[in-house]
């Protein structure tokens, strides 16, 4: 039976008039990857900082590894690894020294620390950059160094706060693969992001946050069941007229349709053969089709359904 390693109960954190975290409760079981998904400003990082006892909070209770989390709960802190949103390394130290420095905050034995540092360098693929100063590293390598510094001491609970912000796709994939490996090796993980694809790929359980509240939680399958949409059909069509669009809207199980002059987007709720029926209508009106594809509901659809707004900012 899995053990509860983090328990947050009724957490409230206010910044003057703004309630950053509003009565949030959650639990993390041993071995799981919990995703905290929400737009910027939804309270994910504040929750993490309260959990780490860096931030004071107004109400609630936080327990980690069965004991109340306080600034001097060193026993619990020794089992946690933190990878923050901002790269937390020293510009004056090289890659090896940075990892060794942070590993040394947890591991006293010199020999063991050296071994762990080497393993972290190997894990992050930084073997060729050991002597490099952080300023000489690319954005992706810098993020990998940030991760290596947080996991070198082999923590049981790893907290990753938006670790892939401003990272190229290649490095992002490498980071995500690394996180999956850490989990396979036995670490429990809290992963915060506003990238739904990452959360969908990684997390065994997801909490969607907005305005400091837990607005939905469950596995990705459970969450998707909460939306009315079963599939979204997208078709490249030119010159569709009002009559055609009107006919499409009248088809069964169609909940909405949008057309921007090039791409027709149709959302369906249940039913079968929706795609076939749509193509029939388009053929009847002698419209030439380009690419046609269907998408299953995403976490963005879940967020949209609950809050009425997009999960991700347009600039993201």
How far is the CA of 243 from the CAs of 48, 121, 247, 250, 280, in angstroms? 53, 62, 6, 11, 14
Q: Rule CB under 8 A: which of 11-30 touch other proteins?
A: 15
Residue 146 or 183 with smaller CB distance to other proteins: 146
Per-residue three-class SS string for 115-154: HHHHHHHHHHCCHHHCCCCHHHCCHHHHHHHHHHHHHCCC
Q: How many residues bind other proteins (CB under 8 A)?
A: 33
Is 57 in contact with 21 (CB distance < 8 Å)? yes
Binding mask 192-231 for other proteins (x = CB under 8 A): ----------------------------------------
Residue 49 or 214 with smaller CB distance to other proteins: 49
Interacting residues of 239 by C-beta distance below 8 A, sequence separation 6+:
287
Q: How far apart are the C-alpha atoms of 243 and 260, rounded to whole Å?
A: 15
* Shortest Cβ 21–other proteins spacing (Å): 13
Query: Which tokens hold the place of 194?
Result: 């506003």
**289-298 core/surface letters (b: 16 or more CB in 10 A; e: else):** eeeeeeeebb
Q: Rule CB under 8 A: which of 256-315 touch other proteins?
A: none
92 is a site residue for other proteins (CB under 8 A): yes
32 is a site residue for other proteins (CB under 8 A): no
Q: How far apart are the C-alpha atoms of 123 and 148, rounded to whole Å?
A: 7
Query: Which tokens hold the place of 20?
Result: 């950053």
Residue 107 or 208 with smaller CB distance to other proteins: 107
Q: Of these, 86, 127, 173, 310, which contacts other proteins (CB under 8 A)? A: 86
Q: Rule CB under 8 A: which of 100-119 touch other proteins?
A: 101-102, 104-106, 108
3-class DSSP assignment, residue 255: strand
Residue 46 or 230 with smaller CB distance to other proteins: 46
Q: Of these, 84, 193, 217, 230, which contacts other proteins (CB under 8 A)? A: 84
Q: Of these, 66, 71, 186, 252, which contacts other proteins (CB under 8 A)? A: 71
Is 305 in contact with 226 (CB distance < 8 Å)? yes
Residue 161 or 301 with smaller CB distance to other proteins: 161
Q: Of these, 9, 23, 60, 78, which contacts other proteins (CB under 8 A)? A: 78
Q: How far apart are the C-alpha atoms of 300 and 307, rounded to whole Å?
A: 10
Q: Rule CB under 8 A: which of 39-68 touch other proteins?
A: 49, 52-56
88 is a site residue for other proteins (CB under 8 A): yes
* Shortest Cβ 53–other proteins spacing (Å): 6
Q: Of these, 24, 37, 87, 202, which contacts other proteins (CB under 8 A)? A: 87
Residue with tokens 């510009």, as numbered in its chain: 91
Q: How far apart are the C-alpha atoms of 213 and 11, rounded to whole Å?
A: 10
231 strand-pairing partners: 268
Q: Of these, 4, 40, 66, 90, which contacts other proteins (CB under 8 A)? A: 90
Q: How far apart are the C-alpha atoms of 78 and 154, rounded to whole Å?
A: 10
Q: How far apart are the C-alpha atoms of 114 and 109, rounded to whole Å?
A: 9
* Shortest Cβ 190–other proteins spacing (Å): 13
Q: Which residues bind other proteins (CB under 8 A)?
A: 15, 49, 52-56, 70-72, 74-75, 77-78, 80, 82, 84, 86-90, 92-93, 97, 101-102, 104-106, 108, 149-150
């Amino acid at each position: 039976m899995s053990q509860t390693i983090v328990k947050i109960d009724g957490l409230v954190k206010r910044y003057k008039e703004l309630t950053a975290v509003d009565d949030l409760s959650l639990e993390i079981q041993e071995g799981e990857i919990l995703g905290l998904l929400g737009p910027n400003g939804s309270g994910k990082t504040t929750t993490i900082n309260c959990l780490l006892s860096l931030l004071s909070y107004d109400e609630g209770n936080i327990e980690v590894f069965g004991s109340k989390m306080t600034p001097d709960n060193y026993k619990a802190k020794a089992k946690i690894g933190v990878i923050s949103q901002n790269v937390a390394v020293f510009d004056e130290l090289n890659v090896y020294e940075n990892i060794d420095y942070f590993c040394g905050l947890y591991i006293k034995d010199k020999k063991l620390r050296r071994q762990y540092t080497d393993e972290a360098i190997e894990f992050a693929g930084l073997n060729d950059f050991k002597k490099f100063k952080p300023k000489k590293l690319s954005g992706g390598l810098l993020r990998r160094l940030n991760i290596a510094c947080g996991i070198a001491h082999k923590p049981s609970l790893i907290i990753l706060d938006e670790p892939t912000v401003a990272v190229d796709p290649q490095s992002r994939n490498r980071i995500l693969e690394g996180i999956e490996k850490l989990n396979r090796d036995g670490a429990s993980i809290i992963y915060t992001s506003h990238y739904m694809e990452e959360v969908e790929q990684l997390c065994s359980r997801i909490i969607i946050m907005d305005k400091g509240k837990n607005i939905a939680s469950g596995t990705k399958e459970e969450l998707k069941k909460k939306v009315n949409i079963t599939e979204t059909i997208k078709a490249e069509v030119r010159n569709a007229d009002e009559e055609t669009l009107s006919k499409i809207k009248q088809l069964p199980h169609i909940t909405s349709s949008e057309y921007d002059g090039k791409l027709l987007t149709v959302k369906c709720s249940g039913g079968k053969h929706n795609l076939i029926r749509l193509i029939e209508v388009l053929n009847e009106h002698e419209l030439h089709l380009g690419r046609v594809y269907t998408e299953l509901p995403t976490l963005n659809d879940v967020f949209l359904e609950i809050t009425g707004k997009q999960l991700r900012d347009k600039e993201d």
